[in-house]
Chains A and B, each alone.
Chain A
Amino acid sequence: MSESPLNTTRRYFLGQCTGVSVGAMALNSMAQQDMMGLPSLPHFAPKAKRVIFLTQSGGPSQIELFDHKPGLMQWAGKELPESVRQGQRLTTMTANQKQLILPGITNFSRCGQSGATISEWLPHLQGVADDLCFIKSMTTDQINHAPAMTQFLTGHQLPGRPSMGAWISYGLGSVNRNLPDYLVLISKMQRPSDQPLYDHYWGSGFLPSRYQGVKLRNSKDPVLYLTDPEGLPRHLRRGMLDGLAELNQMRFEQTQDPEITTRIRQYEMAYRMQASVPELTDLSDEPDHVFEMYGPDSRRAGSYAANCILARRLAERGVRFIQLFHPDWDHHSRLPSWCTARCRDTDQPSAALIKDLKQRGLLDDTLVIWGGEFGRGVAGQGKWDSPEAGRDHHPRCFTMWMAGGGVKPGVTYGATDDFSYNVAEKPVHVRDLHATVMHQLGIDHERFTFRSQGLDFKLTGVESAKVVKDVLT
C-alpha cells in the first residue's frame, strides 16, 4: 500500500482547494502537515524530545567495564558450575570448550557520590558517573550478532521490522524541516569489520521508507547524492529547479494530482538540504575547547568522537532520533589490546557528550543511551589465563547506561548473580528498554501500532513489555 486513503484525501483536498495556483500559504500548510506525526501522539506529556543512541556494536564486556565481581577471583580457572549455567546455549565458537572462569581483568573504582562501579579502562566516564543511570540487568534472547542487533533495534530477531528510530520518526514527525528526523552516524574505522552494519538496522521495515534512518556519511557527500556536480554553480541549480517547478506546476494544473505538489516541495527541501547538511557537518566553527573536551580523535572527521560532536549539533537542531554506531566490540580474544582499543575510541567522547549537553541545557530533554546487542560470558575464550584470552557472546545479562531525558541520574538498577551470568534482580529485557524509551517520548508502546500483513505490529512485539518506572524521574 503506498499511502493511506485518508492521507491522500487530505492532500487531494488541499490540492483542490488551492485551485489553479498553489500559493505559498498552501505550500506552507502542507509542509506542516507533512512534518506532523500521528494526530494521536504523543499519548501524554513527554520528558524527552529526542534520543541520542550510542550503539556499541559487537557486545562490550560488562565484566571488564561495569559489572564488578571481585568474588570471581576465587573461581579463576575453575569450571563454571552447571547451577549457574543452567543449560545456556553457547555459540559454536566455544560450545566444545570447557567453560573456565576468567575473572574481570580490570580494576574498578567507585565513582562520584553515587558510587557507581566503572572500570579503569573508562577513566572519563568515571568523571560523569553521577549523571548516568546504569542498568546492569539487561537481557536479550539472541546469541549471535545480526539477530541480536536486529532484535535490539527492531524488537525482532529477523530483518523486516522498523527500527526504533523509524517508529519514532513515523509517530512524532519532525521538528526541523531542513533535516531528516532520523539520522545515523557510523564511526570510520580502518580495519575491515567482522560485523557489517546492515542498513536494516536503521530501516523502516514495513513503514513507508521516508521514515528510515538517513546515514550521514563522512565523505564529500554527507548524504548520498547531496552534492551537485562540479561545474554546476548554486545559482544555476536554483534556476533549473525554478524551471522544473514551473513545468511541474503546469502539469499539476492539468491533472490536480497532489503528488506533484508534494514533489515540488521535496525538490525544494532537497535544495535546502544541500545547504543545511554541509553547514551541519562542517565542524570548523566549533571552538578549540570543544575538541579538547571530546579528545584528540574528535579532530578527525568520521571518528566516533567527531560523531559525538555532530550528535550534539543535531540535538541542537531538533533532530528527533540520532543514532551512532561504533563497531568492533567483539573481543573474542586479547581483551587487553582489543577491548581497550574500543574503550579508547569511545570513553572520552561519550563522557564529553554528556557534559556538553548538560552545559548547554540540552541534557534535560535529550535521552542518551549507551549499549550493545548483548554482553559477554564469564568463561574465558581461548586459554583463560593468558593475555590472549577473550570472551564469547552472552545474551543473559549485560549493562547499559542512560542519561538525561527524564532518567534518574546517579542510579544503578538491577543486578546480576556472582558470576555476571544470570540476572539476579529486576531483569530488563530489550523490549522493556524499548517501552521505556517510548514512554520518555510520550508514547504508550501498547497503543502505538501499525498494521501490516493483517497484523497490528508494535515495536515491543507480542510478549508483554514494561516501562522501567524505577529509573525515571
Chain B
Amino acid sequence: MVLRMSKHLLLLLCLTASAAAEPVSFSREVLPLLSDNCLACHGQDESHRKADLRLDTQEGAREVLKSGDFIDRITTDDPEEIMPPPKSHKPKLKMEQVALLKRWIAEGAVWGKHWSLEKPVKAKVEGHPVDFFVKARLAKDGMKLSPKAPEHTLRRRLSFDLTGLPPSDLSDRSNQSDSIDQLLKSPHYGERMAMFWLDAARYSDTDGFQSDATRTNWPWRDYVVESFNANKPFDQFTLEQFAGDLLPNATPEQKLATCFHRNHMTNGEGGRDKEESRIDYVIDRVNTMGTVWLGLTLGCTQCHTHKFDPISHADYYSLNAFFNSIDEDGSAGTKANPYLSYQSPHAKHAVDEAQKLVDVRKPIEANAKADAENPFAKWLAEQQANLSRGRRPSSAFQAWHVVRGSVESQEGSKLAQDKDAVVTASGPNPKQDDYRLISTIKRPRLTGLKLEVLPQNGVLSRGKDGEFILTDIKVQVRRKGSSQIRDVLVSGAVSDTKVEGKAREYGDVKGTLDDDPRNGWTTKGFPKDQPHTALYELANPLVLESDEELIFELKQRSTNGDANIAKFRLSATDQPGPAVREIGPAPLENLAQGKIERERLLAQFLEDYEPYQLAKASLDRANAQLKEVQAAAGKLNVMVLAERKEPRDTHVLVRGVWDKKGDVVQRDVPAAIAPWPKDVARDRLGLAKWITSKDNPLTARVFVNHVWQMLFGAGLVRTPDDFGLQGQRPTHPELLDWLAVDFMEHGWDVKRLIKTIVTSETYQQASDRTDPSDPSNLLLSRGPRFRLPAWMIRDAALASSGLLNPALGGPPVRPHQPEGVWEEIFMGRFTYEPSQGAAQHRRTLYAFWRRSIAPTFLFDSAQRRVCEVAMTRTNTPLQALTLLNDETMMEASQALAKRMLAAKSEDRLQLLYRAVLTRQATAKELAVLQRELDRALTHYRAHPEDARKLQATPELAAHTLVASLVLNLDEAITHE
C-alpha cells in the first residue's frame, strides 16, 4: 500500500510540478510533504506533539528552517537523529524531495494555506470551460482528447448519467442538446440523483442496531427526488435539510427535509445508555456534514485535535453544539422523537396498484373455491363409501395411529414402549433429559403428530411435584445408512390446556417450537391425574421413503429441571387441516359417526386441493400487500429535527468518550475554513448559511466533485471524502475552481452544472482507448468508462425488457431476494415477502433497505450505516453469479425473450441487441448469438421437461438463455 500510494503521489507530483522554472508552491508541493512525513508528531495536535516543535505554522517552523536544523535532521545518516524516525515506519525522504524543500527554503520559505482552504477563483477561459482546462493540461504532456464517442455510446452514457436508465430503444433520435434537456426534464433524473444522495445520507428503512426496527422515513426520500426534479438550488436544498423546521412559516415539506440529519443508525439495545446513543447521533450528524458538504474527515477530531487539518478538538464540539439540543433522548424504534406526522401524497398510487391486484386475484380465488365444489362432493362421497366399506364398523375410523419404534434417552432415563405404544420412563431420573422415539412408520404421508402425556401413579412426571415441563420438541428424518439428518418444520402446536402465552415462561405448548429452553409446555394448574394432549402440525405433508425413519425428540431442559415426563404416547395422522389444528375428533372421525361437518370437511378437502391453495396463497399475498400500503397511505411518523426548549450544554468529550465531559463550548465553526456570516443567529439556519456562504472555500468544490465523480466514475479530487491535507490534490485544480465559482455565481443550479459538464468534448470523448502512460485516466484523455453501479444494472434490465414500473415515490417495495436471507440474520424474526404484481418491478431506489442486511442483489453499494460518498468498484465471481441467477435478471431475460418471439424470427437477435445495448449487432456477434440460440433450442426441443421447469416452451426457454447472455455482456453493464 505504502508503495502504491507513493507511486501515485509521484505521478501526481509529476503532473503538477513539471514546470521547474516556477517557484515552489507551498500548498501543492511543500505542504503535502510536511503532512505526510512530519505533522503526525509536529502538527497542531498538542497531545501528540514531540519536542514542542510545530511545523504546521510559519511561526512554529521559522526557527528550525532558519537554523538549518530542519534540513540536517531529514538528511543525516545518524539513526538517532534522522527524521522521520525509524519507529514511525516512514521511509527517509527521497533526494528529490529534499531538493525541493531546500529550493523552497532558498526561495524564502513562503508560507500559505492548503489549497482547499483558499477561496476558489475563476480563471479566464476561452471556449468551453471544461475543455479549455483539460486540453491545456493534456497539451503540457503532448496529449490530446480522444475522438467523440459513437452516437449510440453517447446516447447510453447520457441516459445512464442523467436518469440512471438506458435509452428507450423506441425513442426517436432527436438532436443531442435536445436530448440532454429532455433527460434533465425527465422525472427519472430526480431518482438518479436521489440514489447518490441517499447513499451519502445513510438513508435506510430500518434503525440498524439490535432489533433493527422499521422506520417510516421514506417520504423524505421522495422529498429528495422532488427537490432534484424541481432543480432546487443546492444552497436552498442544504438549508432545508439542516434547518427546515426553523424557517419562518415552515411548510411540512421543509420540516420533512430535516430527516436528512435523522437518517443515522439508532441503537435500541437493551442495556444501552440512551445518553451515549444520543451523543453518537450528534457525532454522526457532524461527521456526515463534514464528509458530504466540506470534504473533511471531521471524525478524526472526535478524540483529538486533527493531526493534519486545521480543526481542533474544541472546534469539533463547537460544531456538535449546533445539533446537541434536538428534542431527542437517544431512543430508537417507535420512540425516536422528534417526529413529524406526515401523510405522503405518493402512497395513493401504491394503494391503487395493490387494490387492482386484489381485484384481479379475488375472483380467481372465488372461482377456484367454486370449482372445488364438485371435486369436494365427489371426495365426500368417496370418503363415505370408504367408511362404510371398511371391514371394521365405520364408527371405528381412526384418524390417528400410534407410533412404535425404538426409544432412547440422552442422560440415562430408562425408556420402554409397551404393546399400546405407551412409553414409560424408569430407572435413573436425571435432572434434565431428552427422550427420542425412532420409528420406521409405515404411512403414506404424515400431516401431524399427537403427543399424549399420560399419568403414572396419579402424576404426570417423575419430578417432586409431579408436573412435567417439555421445553422443546424436534421432528427429524434420517435415511438408513446416510450420515445426515434433516429437520422437519413444525408449523403449529395446540394443546388441551390453554394458558396465556407469556414469553419465557413455561405453560403454552407453542414454547416447545422455538428451541428456547426458557419456555415450553407444562400443564401445571390443570389436573395432573389426567392425560393431556398436544397436536403438532407439520408445515408440509411429510412422505417418508421406505428406508427413512422418523425421529421425534422431547427435550426437557427446564431451568430447575426435575420435570421429566413419566409416560407418553405418540401418534401420527395423514389428515390435513382441522384434524391437526383442533383438539377433539377429526372431521372424518365424526363423519364415521354419521356427523357431517360440512365446513370442517371442506376445510380439510381444500387443504389438499392444490388449484385452490395456489389461488388462495396468491390472494393472501395481495391482501397483505394492500393492507401494508394502506397503512403507509395514512399518517406516518417521520423522524425530523426540532429544538428542545432548554438548550443542552455542549462539552468537549475527553478522548471522544461520551461521559468524559471536558470544557463547555459554544456553537461555532472552524475559523480556518470561513468566518461566521455577519448578522446571522448561531443556530442550524446560520450553520447552513455558513456552509453555503461564498466565503466557504469547500462546499461548492466538494459538491462539484461529487457530480464530476457521478459522471466520470472518479472525481477531479479522487478522494471525494477528503479535501484535507491527507486527501489527494485535484487533477485539474483550475477547472474544479472554475466550476465551483460558476456554480455559486449561478445560484447553485445543479442542472446547469451538469449540463455544462456533459456538453463538453471532454465528457463526450470515446472511452475505449486508454493512453498507456495514464492508465487511471487522470488527465482525461479518454471518456469515462466504468462498470455501472449495481442498482443501475438492475434498473436497466427491467427497462430494456419492458418490465419496469416507472411510478415515482411511495412506500418501499421488496424486489426478489433469495429465500431466507433475512431469516438467517435474525433467526426467523423478520421474513422477506417479495412484492407482488407491478410493485415488484419498481426502480431499485424504492427497494426496502434493511440496514443489517442490505439488498442482496446490490454489490459494491454503499452500506448506509455511515455516510459514504466514495465509489467502490470490484469485479468478482459473486457478482457474476448474481447477474446470472438473480430472479429479477431471469424475469427480465424471459420478458426480453417474449418480446423477441413476438417479432419475426430473423429480427429477433437484432431486437435483443437494440433493446439492451442500443445498437445493431455485427455479423460476427450475430453468429455467436445464433450458435448459442441453436444450441439451446436443440436442447429444449429434445428436453421439453427442462423448459417446463423454467415455465416456458422450448422456444421461450432458449431465447431466455440468450437474452440472459446479452444482459451479462460487459458492454451491457458498463458505462462506456
Residue of B432, B472, B875, B885 near A259 (CB, 8 A) is B875
Q: Is the CB of A144 within 8 A of B11?
A: no
Q: Is the CB of B872 within 8 A of A337?
A: no
Q: Is the CB of A266 within 8 A of B827?
A: no
Q: Is the CB of A186 within 8 A of B824?
A: yes
Residue of B89, B827, B890, B961 near A192 (CB, 8 A) is B827
Task: Knowing A301-B486, A333-B518 are in contact, say whether A225-B825 is a contact too (CB < 8 A).
Answer: no
Proximity string of chain A (311-347) to chain B, C-beta cutoff 8 Å, 1 when within and 0 when not: 0000000000000000100000110111011000000
**A65 to B299 Cα, complex, angstroms:** 40
Could you give 18 example pairs across A and B, Cβ below 8 Å?
A4-B1, A7-B4, A16-B772, A91-B273, A143-B271, A196-B852, A210-B876, A224-B856, A236-B935, A257-B770, A259-B875, A284-B482, A299-B485, A336-B560, A340-B557, A341-B557, A392-B271, A454-B725
- At the interface, yes or no: B64 with Cβ under 8 Å from chain A? no
Q: Is the CB of A210 within 8 A of B718?
A: no
Q: Can you add 16 more A-B contacts, CB < 8 Å, to A215-B824, A244-B968? A: A38-B1, A144-B269, A159-B866, A190-B828, A196-B210, A196-B825, A199-B825, A232-B950, A247-B925, A260-B970, A263-B875, A291-B483, A300-B476, A333-B518, A337-B518, A337-B558
Which residue on A lies nearest to B859, using beta carbons? A209
- On chain A, the residues within 8 Å of B865 by CB distance are 159-160, 200
Which residue on B lies nearest to A141, using beta carbons? B657
Proximity string of chain A (187-219) to chain B, C-beta cutoff 8 Å, 1 when within and 0 when not: 011111111111110010000111000110101
Task: Knowing A6-B4, A284-B482, A387-B560 are in contact, say whether A225-B970 is a contact too (CB < 8 A).
Answer: no
Q: Is the CB of A191 within 8 A of B881?
A: no
Chain B residues numbered 806-830 whose CB sits less than 8 Å from any CB in chain A: 818-821, 824-829
Chain A residues numbered 263-279 whose CB sits less than 8 Å from any CB in chain B: 263, 266-267, 269-270, 273-274
- On chain A, the residues within 8 Å of B932 by CB distance are 239-240, 243
- At the interface, yes or no: A114 with Cβ under 8 Å from chain B? no
**A108 to B770 Cα, complex, angstroms:** 69
Chain B residues numbered 9-39 whose CB sits less than 8 Å from any CB in chain A: 11
Q: Is the CB of B297 within 8 A of A209?
A: no
Q: Is the CB of B948 within 8 A of A451?
A: no
- On chain A, the residues within 8 Å of B767 by CB distance are 255
- At the interface, yes or no: B714 with Cβ under 8 Å from chain A? yes
- At the interface, yes or no: A29 with Cβ under 8 Å from chain B? no
Which residue on B lies nearest to A8, using beta carbons? B775
Interface of B is mostly: loop
Task: Knowing A231-B957, A340-B557 are in contact, say whether A225-B725 is a contact too (CB < 8 A).
Answer: no
Q: Which 10 A-B pairs have the closest CB atoms?
A: A91-B271, A454-B726, A231-B949, A190-B515, A2-B873, A255-B768, A192-B829, A270-B880, A269-B877, A270-B877
The segment out of A130-138, A398-406, A418-426, A442-450 that lies at the interface is: A442-450
The number of residue pairs between A and B whose CB atoms lie closer than 8 Å in the complex comes to: 328
- For residue A155, give the distance in angstroms from its CB to the closest CB of chain B: 14
- For residue B890, give the distance in angstroms from its CB to the closest CB of chain A: 6
- At the interface, yes or no: B516 with Cβ under 8 Å from chain A? yes
Task: Knowing A192-B826, A236-B961, A257-B770 are in contact, say whether A146-B209 is a contact too (CB < 8 A).
Answer: yes
- On chain B, the residues within 8 Å of A28 by CB distance are none
- For residue A283, give the distance in angstroms from its CB to the closest CB of chain B: 6
Q: Is the CB of B272 within 8 A of A284?
A: no
**A288 to B939 Cα, complex, angstroms:** 40
Q: Is the CB of A191 within 8 A of B516?
A: yes
- At the interface, yes or no: A388 with Cβ under 8 Å from chain B? yes
- On chain B, the residues within 8 Å of A195 by CB distance are 210
Proximity string of chain A (163-189) to chain B, C-beta cutoff 8 Å, 1 when within and 0 when not: 000000000000000001000001011
- At the interface, yes or no: A84 with Cβ under 8 Å from chain B? no
- On chain B, the residues within 8 Å of A470 by CB distance are none
Which residue on A lies nearest to B483, using beta carbons? A291
- For residue B90, give the distance in angstroms from its CB to the closest CB of chain A: 10
Chain A residues numbered 3-60 whose CB sits less than 8 Å from any CB in chain B: 3-9, 12-13, 16, 38-40
Task: Knowing A195-B210, A270-B884 are in contact, say whether A299-B484 is a contact too (CB < 8 A).
Answer: yes
- At the interface, yes or no: B525 with Cβ under 8 Å from chain A? no
Q: Is the CB of B928 within 8 A of A283?
A: no
Q: Is the CB of B559 within 8 A of A337?
A: yes
Residue of B484, B714, B939, B943 near A283 (CB, 8 A) is B484
- For residue A112, give the distance in angstroms from its CB to the closest CB of chain B: 25
Q: Is the CB of B557 within 8 A of A299?
A: no
- At the interface, yes or no: A254 with Cβ under 8 Å from chain B? yes
- For residue A269, give the distance in angstroms from its CB to the closest CB of chain B: 4
Q: Is the CB of A251 within 8 A of B2?
A: no
- At the interface, yes or no: B417 with Cβ under 8 Å from chain A? no
Q: Is the CB of B965 within 8 A of A244?
A: yes
Chain B residues numbered 467-498 whose CB sits less than 8 Å from any CB in chain A: 471-472, 476, 478, 482-487
- At the interface, yes or no: A68 with Cβ under 8 Å from chain B? no
**A301 to B486 Cα, complex, angstroms:** 7
